[in-house]
Amino acid sequence: MIAQKTQRLVSQGAAHIHAPSATAPTPPKQTAPPINSSFEDLADAGIADASPQVIQKNGGRRVGIQTHVPGRHPGGSPGVTISGFQTNSDTDDDPGSELSEPEFTATRVNLNPSPTNRPKSKRNGKSGGRRVRTTHDDDDDDDDDELQLRPLALRRKGSVAPTPIRIINSNYNQSNLSGEKSGEDGDYGEKGQASPTPSATSISSLLREKLGQVPIPGMFRNKKPKEYKLQAFVAVLFLCIILLVGSIYIIHKEKELQKSYFDRIRFNGKDRRIRVTNIQDRIVLTGVLGVNLNPRDKPWPCLSENQRENETCLEWMGKARLYLKTKAPPPKGLSPGSVSTLGFSNDDSNNINGDANNNKILCYGIYWESLNAQFPLQDCYDMGEHRGGYFYGGGEMEKDQWPLNKTIVPYLPFVTGTKEEKNGEFQWGRSLRRYYVNSEGAAIKVTDTTPLFVSINHPEPKKICFGAAHDGFGFPEEIDEVYGVKLPLLNYTICTAENVLEISKRLADKDIWERLKHEDAQLTYSMAISPIWKIRPEVLDHGNQSDVALLNHTNKIAGIHSSEGFILLDETWQKRIGDLEADTERFPNLAETFNITKRRGFRIALTTGPFFSTQSLNYVEGLEKGVWITEKPRERSGHPTHHVPALTQYTKWNSVAVLDVTKKESRSWFYDKVKGLAEKYGIDALYADMGTTSDLPEYYQYSKRVPSADHAKDILLQTLRSIPHLSTIGVSSAVKIPKPPTFVGLSPTESSWQGLQSVIPNILTLGLAGFPFLIPGSIGGDYFVQKDNNNNNATNDTTTTSAVLQVLPEKELYIRWLQLSHFLPVVQYSFLPNDYDEEVINIATELQKNRKSNIYPFLKKAMDDALTTGMPIIRPLWMIDPSDSNCLKISDEFAIGEDIIVAPILRSNSTERDIYLPRGIWKDEVERSSTKGERWLHNYKAKLNQIPYFIKLPDTGPILSRK
């Protein structure tokens, strides 16, 4: 189309354009046509006088039309120039500018006009900062006319003046005017016009030109790089400010939510995280409540009918309800185990006592109600060096129980067991207490009514978890006549103090001494002086000569030791367990045998308990009186089972009934039987073998519901203690603290080095849990484990029968066990020193003398302290210095009160060990020197006949450093 218009213009004005003249007339002054004039208008006005030619070069965007402009000097290069209005973004945009002359300075076209009004200076052949392009016609040197090209007008936009357009050389190719194709670039036709071959590049160039004429909003126009950097910086800064303000707002809301519940215990109802701080505002306990709740579950305030005064109540719809409250700490002198003090009840006092001592301890109650039988209640707390600290307490375990951070316990009912794995399943020991403390100064006390489950480092490490569930065995379900089966409750108290020593002192049972008779106190002290001589079953297994064997054994004891202490016979003194009569075939005159033994200076104690063989003399009588626990009712029409005794297996007896101690009639019947036994044989004391929950029948029920089967033990113990002139010196299993002179016996211990190493941790655990008066078991162990060729347990007989051939413990093990026992509250022999050689007898004799003359005063002082303050007799080292991190982890040393530290040798073929002494000045009783504490004594030497122990000295006076 452009070519056709150009052809017409050339044919119409060729003569005028090329007419020679000697004297060039002065062209008339022309005025610029309107900016929106078309090319024809420009030609008619005489501005475009020649045939235009569109030129393209290299696919660029520069497009121009060549015209011959008269008036130029001869011989000048007929360059292709474009006169017009500059459209460069850097040129002035004058709304009133007009074309006032027919000739204009050659400039460059910018097809993307910009409103910038700053002119640019011409430098280095550039105009306005842009390069000027010209085209020379080599075929027409005589033509002195200059080709000048006029721009196409842009459409004016309102009253705004158009932006001038500058067009430079174009390499746009087109056919020549005659219709013949021109050659390559620079190959001009007869009329001196280049005719390059059209290409795809020329088309794209033209498209870009047209698109460049489209008005572009200013916000999309090119900006300076510095402007982009500034905008990016401002945007990032604004975003950071928003994030910072948002974070502060969220943290503020979280803190506000936490503080809305307590001052020192902070609980976030959304994620159920709990943080407990002490009076110094130091975090001592962290954890998560309701770990089985879904994170999407939202807590709601309880309905008004479920609210309690001075308590915070939250409810997770259809799952559980939580009550939180501040509780008063136990007043001085009152046991923390009292339900009225630390239990969670509606009439608890909510005000902290104004006593100065009370201000050092803070207590809080946590009470969960299950709303769904399928939803398990469970809370977990952190345990670790950096969060939660070290945990202690609970009950006996086979190994790694001090501190609890080292052990793994699956989620199981917290009931008594054998302390060892049974059928591959973990079991707790025979004595437990629902009381835990950590090294940061926090304590957790679970109420007796909670069907407690506990897990440690399982399945998640560094967690100790407490849950509640009725398992139908250890924790029987509670039936309500109106509502049916009651759902479980999880109820416990958290108390905090400055450190672990302070919390232990404050929560220790301080009422042990109440109603303690003088004779009971004297018996308690005497047990620390005189040993217990436990008679092994094989000693009395001599047919009708068993009474003679007993007398010979007491003579053997008197030969190495003064005739004092208790002669303790296990249940094998009967023909069948539960006879409560002597086996007349083996002991034809047991009463006279006991009388002779007592005249020698010994006292007699027999073992009894609630287990009765179905072949015993008392089973049928008890069946007629209904004194046994019965089977659970079963859904069998016409077959009632509520009077059928529930039978079990106990030790070597395969069919055994269990006394129902919840019935008053059963207790009275048993009371009469035991009282008659004591009068008939003239015995001095009893040892109560209570068994464990794992020893009960699988499907059983007491006549009256008890929170757990273990609580029946305390009922039976109270019955035995009520018998006049008969003391109960020991109990094999306990979950409550018995009154002195009743000592709690440790679970039977394997006769091995591993068994010896478990004695100290279990004593420390039970002492901290609230059992200060302990019997550590027999010297040398209570039973043997035979190993197969692969060193696996082939036979594990924890009974006192002769099912496994009893042999003597190895000599070194016996000596090291003997040394340890002489620093514990009670010394109990099963194997005698004179079962070995003279060396063992001499060691035993020296130890007994040292105990009476040197150790007993410290033991008595610690026993007095236990009676009045509830603190354990055998204490961990952190009770001397709770701030010493070394003391928190040591499990093979212990202290007697605050005055003696004992560090026995507990490994085979060893005569040295590392010993840590806490702060203070200590006298080394082996090397007879003094040393300052808070230091390790590495490779301390101790011969086979020596046990390292240190007595605390006053802090004044000269100090002799240990060599």
pLDDT in tens, 54-98: 444 444 444 444 444 444 444 444 443 333 434 444 434 444 443
Q: If DSSP states are collapsed to H, E and C, what string results for 869-912?
A: HCCCCEECHHHCCCCCCCCCCCCCCEEECCCEEECCCCCCCCCE
Are 135 and 235 contained in the same domain?
A: no
- pLDDT of residue 4 exceeding 70: no
Judge contact between 859 and 825, C-beta under 8 A: yes
Domain count, the chain: 3
pLDDT in tens, 437-488: 999 999 999 999 999 999 999 888 999 999 999 887 888 887 766 666 788 8
- pLDDT of residue 494 exceeding 50: yes
How confident is the prediction for the chain on average, in pLDDT?
A: 76
- pLDDT of residue 799 exceeding 60: no
Write the CATH number for 321: 2.60.40
Q: Output the pLDDT for position 67.
A: 44
Final residue belonging to a domain, choices 507, 541, 558: 507
- What CA–CA distance (Å, rounded) separates 598 from 609? 24
**Three-point CA angle 7, 10, 13, nearest 5°:** 145
Are 145 and 248 contained in the same domain?
A: no
- What CA–CA distance (Å, rounded) separates 633 from 647? 15
Q: Output the pLDDT for position 792.
A: 52
Are 286 and 334 contained in the same domain?
A: yes
Q: Output the pLDDT for position 145.
A: 43
DSSP annotation of 701: B
Are 193 and 109 contained in the same domain?
A: yes
Decide if 344 is inside a domain: yes
pLDDT in tens, 101-135: 444 344 444 444 444 444 444 444 434 444 444 44
- pLDDT of residue 751 exceeding 80: yes
Are 197 and 236 contained in the same domain?
A: no
**pTM exceeding 0.75:** no
**Three-point CA angle 280, 284, 288, nearest 5°:** 135
Average pLDDT over residues 337-364: 48
Q: Output the pLDDT for position 399.
A: 83
pLDDT in tens, 601-616: 999 999 999 999 999 9
- CB-based contacts of 236: which residues, under 8 Å, 6+ apart? none
Backbone angles phi, psi at 816, to 5 degrees: -65, -35
Lowest mean pLDDT segment, chosen from 38-52, 262-276, 479-493: 38-52
- pLDDT of residue 269 exceeding 50: yes
Nearest to 690, CA basis, from 653, 735, 652: 735
Average pLDDT over residues 682-710: 90
Please report, as a single letter, which amino acid is at residue 26.
T
Are 321 and 248 contained in the same domain?
A: no
Decide if 42 is inside a domain: yes
* CB-count burial class (<10 Å; 0-12, 13-18, 19+) for 160: exposed
In which residue are the tokens 């609580």 written?
711
- pLDDT of residue 617 exceeding 60: yes
- What CA–CA distance (Å, rounded) separates 150 from 39? 9
Are 348 and 213 contained in the same domain?
A: no
Q: Output the pLDDT for position 339.
A: 34
- What CA–CA distance (Å, rounded) separates 738 from 716? 12
Final residue belonging to a domain, choices 507, 537, 557: 507
Decide if 84 is inside a domain: yes
Are 284 and 374 contained in the same domain?
A: yes
Secondary structure of residue 585 in the 3-state scheme = coil
- CB-based contacts of 603: which residues, under 8 Å, 6+ apart? 565, 566, 567, 684, 685
Nearest to 658, CA basis, from 687, 698, 601: 698
Decide if 952 is inside a domain: no
Nearest to 606, CA basis, from 584, 589, 591, 586: 591
pLDDT in tens, 395-446: 998 888 899 998 999 999 999 998 877 667 888 999 999 999 999 999 999 9
Decide if 63 is inside a domain: yes
Backbone angles phi, psi at 606, to 5 degrees: -110, 150
Average pLDDT over residues 564-588: 91
Q: Output the pLDDT for position 476.
A: 82
Terminal Cα-to-Cα distance of the chain (whole angstroms): 117
- What CA–CA distance (Å, rounded) separates 309 from 767? 37
Judge contact between 89 and 216, C-beta under 8 A: no
- pLDDT of residue 48 exceeding 70: no
Residues 534, 535, 536, 537, CA torsion sign = negative
DSSP annotation of 851: I
Q: Output the pLDDT for position 344.
A: 37
Are 465 and 485 contained in the same domain?
A: yes
Decide if 585 is inside a domain: no
- What CA–CA distance (Å, rounded) separates 919 from 950? 12
Judge contact between 397 and 410, C-beta under 8 A: no
Average pLDDT over residues 145-168: 46
Judge contact between 442 and 502, C-beta under 8 A: no
Are 214 and 315 contained in the same domain?
A: no
Lowest mean pLDDT segment, chosen from 73-82, 642-651, 949-958: 73-82
pLDDT in tens, 913-938: 999 999 999 999 999 999 999 999 99
Are 241 and 174 contained in the same domain?
A: no
* CB-count burial class (<10 Å; 0-12, 13-18, 19+) for 398: buried
- CB-based contacts of 586: which residues, under 8 Å, 6+ apart? 540, 541, 542, 543, 544, 546, 547, 575
Q: Output the pLDDT for position 55.
A: 44
Cis preceding linkage at 461, omega within 30: no
- Please tell me the number of Cα atoms within 13 Å of 482 on its side-chain side: 0
Please report, as a single letter, which amino acid is at residue 134.
T
Lowest mean pLDDT segment, chosen from 524-528, 800-804, 923-927: 800-804
Final residue belonging to a domain, choices 161, 195, 222: 222
Q: Output the pLDDT for position 483.
A: 64
- Give the number of other CB atoms < 10 A from CB of residue 396: 26
Q: Output the pLDDT for position 132.
A: 40
Average pLDDT over residues 11-19: 45
Decide if 726 is inside a domain: no
- pLDDT of residue 501 exceeding 60: yes
Decide if 623 is inside a domain: no
- What CA–CA distance (Å, rounded) separates 55 from 170? 4
Please report, as a single letter, which amino acid is at residue 747.
S
| 671 conformational bin, left if phi > 0, alpha if psi -120 to 50, beta if neither | alpha
Average pLDDT over residues 837-846: 94
Element (H, E) at 943: none
- pLDDT of residue 632 exceeding 90: no
Are 167 and 271 contained in the same domain?
A: no
Q: Output the pLDDT for position 267.
A: 77
Per the structure, the complete domain to which residue 285 belongs is given by: 267-507
In which residue are the tokens 């003090």 written?
341
- CB-based contacts of 546: which residues, under 8 Å, 6+ apart? 540, 583, 586, 587
Average pLDDT over residues 204-225: 60
Give me the percent of the chain exceeding a pLDDT of 70: 67
- pLDDT of residue 684 exceeding 90: yes
- Please tell me the number of Cα atoms within 13 Å of 813 on its side-chain side: 17
Lowest mean pLDDT segment, chosen from 309-318, 321-330, 336-345, 732-741: 336-345
- What CA–CA distance (Å, rounded) separates 511 from 269? 38
Higher-confidence residue: 919 or 310?
A: 919
